Chains A and B, each alone.
Chain A
Amino acid sequence: DAGVTQSPTHLIKTRGQQVTLRCSPKSGHDTVSWYQQALGQGPQFIFQYYEEEERQRGNFPDRFSGHQFPNYSSELNVNALLLGDSALYLCASSGTPNTEAFFGQGTRLTVV
């Protein structure tokens, strides 16, 4: 079992650019959530996808959008990048709501 896999592991973008991060959930999981973790802070919930729909959204601007594919994998898109978007982006998958979430290793995004 490969667990939750995220790609890429690191990337550097310029302010104003757009970025797409990818996540493959753990085998058997159909729910994917995305979190942003700024340096020295706890993860903050961005949104959750289930059955290809955004089921819940945290307090993030519309520049943050996502998608879930029929195979349950997911993408996080961030437009018009700001310096403050620099963070570790974590993907988590779960089998049913409110059961334990398994996290990937994260994507470290640096905006310069």
Chain B
Amino acid sequence: DGGITQSPKYLFRKEGQNVTLSCEQNLNHDAMYWYRQDPGQGLRLIYYSQIVNDFQKGDIAEGYSVSREKKESFPLTVTSAQKNPTAFYLCASRALESGNTIYFGEGSWLTVV
């Protein structure tokens, strides 16, 4: 099946740990995105990438890092510098010629314990 796969669905992080959320897509999309969503709130853009080996900071990039070594993969690392990481994280992808039509994964819940 074509789509975007995020893993894990649920993740617990201890204070001071780095954790990495996986995002893989087989849609052959060039652009990929990471959003953060806090309970009852809208989506906030963390990082986005339009081509391999290039990515740009979104509105809330501090405490996060990404890589884009392959077209189909865009992992997000939540570092210990992110002081309030508990949230729902969504990965998305888009074909560059499709404008605003983007496709989302099922999301990953990250909780700090």
Do A and B truly interact? no
B→A interface (CB under 8 Å): none
